[in-house]
Structure formats: C-alpha cells, structure tokens
Chain A
Amino acid sequence: MHSAAPNPWLSWRYVESNWAEISHQLSIHTTLTLEAVAIAFALAFPLAVLARNVRWLTRPILGTASVLYTIPSLALFALLAPFTGIGRTTVLVGLVTYALLVLVRNILTGLEGVDPDIVDAARGLGYSKSKMLFAVEVPNALPSIVAGLRIATVTTVALVTVGVVVGYGGLGQLMFRGFQSSYRAEIATSSLLCVALALVLDLAIVAAARAAMPWARRGRSA
C-alpha cells in the first residue's frame, strides 16, 4: 500500500509543522469535554436529587438514562445532525446524553449511601432540607460523585472523536484524516494526545477532590 516514502508512527517534524492545527483541535476537544461534563452535571444533580426524593421516579429516570446509553454514538451523532445541524451543538448534545447516565447513577448511589445516623443527627440539630442536602448529604456523597465525574470525563474525551461523523470531532478529526491518507504519525499523535488529555483531566479532578475533601486525605480514598 505504501511505497518507499517513510511513514513513521511518531514524527516530531509532523508535530512541529502542524502545531497550529493540532493545538486548535486539542483546544476544541478540551472545551467540548469540559462543557459537556459541566452541562451533564448541572442536569444530573437535580435529576438525582429528584430521583432520591420521589421514590416512584427513581426507576423511570434511571431507565430512560440507560436506554439512551444503548444508542450507538455513531448513530446518535448522525441522527441529531438533521435536527441540530452539522457541527458543535450536535456533538455537545450527544456527549451530554452519554455523560448523564454515569453521573445520575453515581450521584444517586452516593446520596443513598449516606449513613442514616448522620442524617438523623443533622435533623436533630434542626437543619432545613436544603441545608441538609448541601452541608451534610453532598459532602458525604462526594467520593461517589467524584468517581462518577472521573468516569464521565474520561469517557467523554474518548467519545468526542466520534463527532468526526458530523465534522466536529476535535482530535478525532486528525485521526480520521490520518486513516484516510494512511499517515501514521497523524493517527498516533492524535491518539496519544487524547489519552494524555484524559489523564490530565482525571488527575485534575482527583486533585480538586482532594482539596475539597480534607477529611478524606488520610486512609481510604475515593
């Protein structure tokens, strides 16, 4: 397939001469991921609280979220295209959909796992419902919430690449073009950057969680 022309897996020259485009796609990839996870979290938190407080809503909320999860990413992005157009919105909607399930499930698990004695004690102190939620339950559920955020973020980074089917895939754009032109360095570089981005964001969340949970720094971790 390839003739004598060199086709290395990694090439510093490729990175150097295409840095403008690589960094552009990398920043698209990063902002898309952060935005998607932030929106998903903003939606998932009230949903999870609702699912916890209103018993009969638990199953429908979790059920809808898991059915959404079975839709293949390729199809979802492609399906949204005629409604939301080719580009950013489409990818964002798809990403939020997938991050939602993970977050709702983990927030719910976290809230349900709070020791009833702690809640009782807080009630005895006369805490209102909202104060109870934010001052007692959420801090206690943080390990589970953080675990959900980590999974959601890392999977979102990987999913952004599929956005290439609607022409907005961040680093996936480079991956796919590399595939079409059999240019190995382009594929390998963008793949490595994807994994690196996932690791960096994951570490950032872990660091933020450690700062937010001084009580958990010793002993068991999230």
Chain B
Amino acid sequence: MKQEIHFVTGKGGVGKSVVAAALALKLSQAGKKVLLVELGDQSFFRDFFSLSQVGFQPVSIRQNLSIALWSGDTCLREYAGYLIKVESLAKLFFDNAVMRAFINVAPALPELAILGKITSGPRKHGPPLPFDCIVVDAFATGHFKALLEAPKGMAQAVQFGPMGEQSRSIDKVIRDKSMCHYHIVTLPEELPLKEAAELSQDLKDEFDINAEIILNKILPVPISVEKVTEYTKQEDSDMKDFAIYLQHHMQRQTEMLAEAEKVTTNLRSIPLFFEADPWKLTSLMAEKL
C-alpha cells in the first residue's frame, strides 16, 4: 500500500491542530497505522492531551496512533547522521557555533529537511518510517507556502549535486495526488477565509493541487433564522440579546459559506462543539470528517 501524507494548514488560531488530530484519529480508527506530526520546537499536543513527552521519535498514544515533533534542526540532524554515518563528524558539524548560526536562518534548508523527512517513505530515502499515513499539523498559511516552495526554489537555484536532486524528488512527491492530500482549515470569518482562499488558489496555480477547505466551528443553531429574528424583536424576551447574537452569527456564517463555495467545490464543515475534554472533542470532530 502506498503511504498517504496529509498536510493540515490554515491561519493561526483556526483550530488546525485539533483538526489534524481528529483526522489522524479517524484514519487510525479505520485500521491504518498513523503518525501525527507536529512541526517546530514546541509541542501543542503535549499540553493538549496531557502527554508526558513528545519528541522527534514517534511515541504511541492510542491504538494505531503515534505522535512526533519535528523541526528543521532535528530532521537535518537525523538526515546528516544517516548520510555521514560517522557520528563524531555529524556532531562536529552540528555543535559548531558557526554552523548553528547558519542552520538557524539558512534559506530553505530547514524546510527541505522537514519535507525530506515527511516524504522519505515514498522516496525510499532516509531512515524507514513504518506508517500507512502521516498527518502533518503543518505551519500556518504563510510559512506553509514557504515550506512547499522550498524544494522548487532550491532545485532552481542548485541544479547539480545531492541538494538539487533531493529537492526535485521532494517536489515531485508533494505534487503527487495519489500520495499527498491538503486540508486548509478556516473559520467562518473574513480574515481566515481570505487566507484560505488565497492559499487554495496558489496551490492550484503553482502545484495543481486541489486542496480541501474545512470550515471549522460552525455554530449549530437549532431553530430557523425566522424564529431567531422573531426573538430579536420581542421586547419582553429574556433571550433577546442571545437572539441578536445568533442572528449576527448566522448571517455571517451564511455569507462565509457562500464565499467558501465560490472558492472551492472541495468543502467540508465541522460544527462548534462545546466540549472541554480534549479526547472527547477530538473524537466528536473525527466523526464529522
């Protein structure tokens, strides 16, 4: 079976991490062996799921579901170790102050290392990654675009040598529709939706990727707009303020849904759940995915 890779992105604050976790949970419940990957230096899920530790090496947190935290630095370190094979030399390379300063800001290098690791399965390059699915809780919109563009940019800048070669092979995988799936999470609000729409268009234009847009936190209102409007007019109703709030909210949701439909045919909605328990919340969301 081919390894599936799912990228989950969106504007900051839209709930993409929880959507990523829900997607990973859903896939694991379907019997697939899933790795949920966080990017960066600090783990959100460690606090969220009250885990004792989340690090570079995957740890199992549920049946069929493991979690890992990957940064450019740790991916590069592993990759260099894998290629160099001489541990002392790899150590010399990474512990050197100058190289550290360089790696910290090197254009596209951390991005390449991360994508290289994520796509190492299909490319059969690097240490083995024994999972059927990888769900990446990826960077927010802007940084995510930079992540995807890194291989293409680097392949253009560096035509020869291993870096150019790897860049081309990574670029090929992230465009492969049979392997990679893209999910852009947004809220029914102007700014997140605008970012989602722009990203979706960019992915289409530059990579021929048809990303799915997930409208998160749709407030489920159990009565009709007409009824709600009625309550907003009743002077004596103690539900008046609440009804006005709901009316605004419903109007905005309808507008935003129409906006989203203009952008894509690949659209899904997740309701807002008033659930504080992290696993329960994730399960509820997984059911809707």
- Chains A and B form a bound pair: no
Which B positions have Cβ atoms within 8 angstroms of A?
none
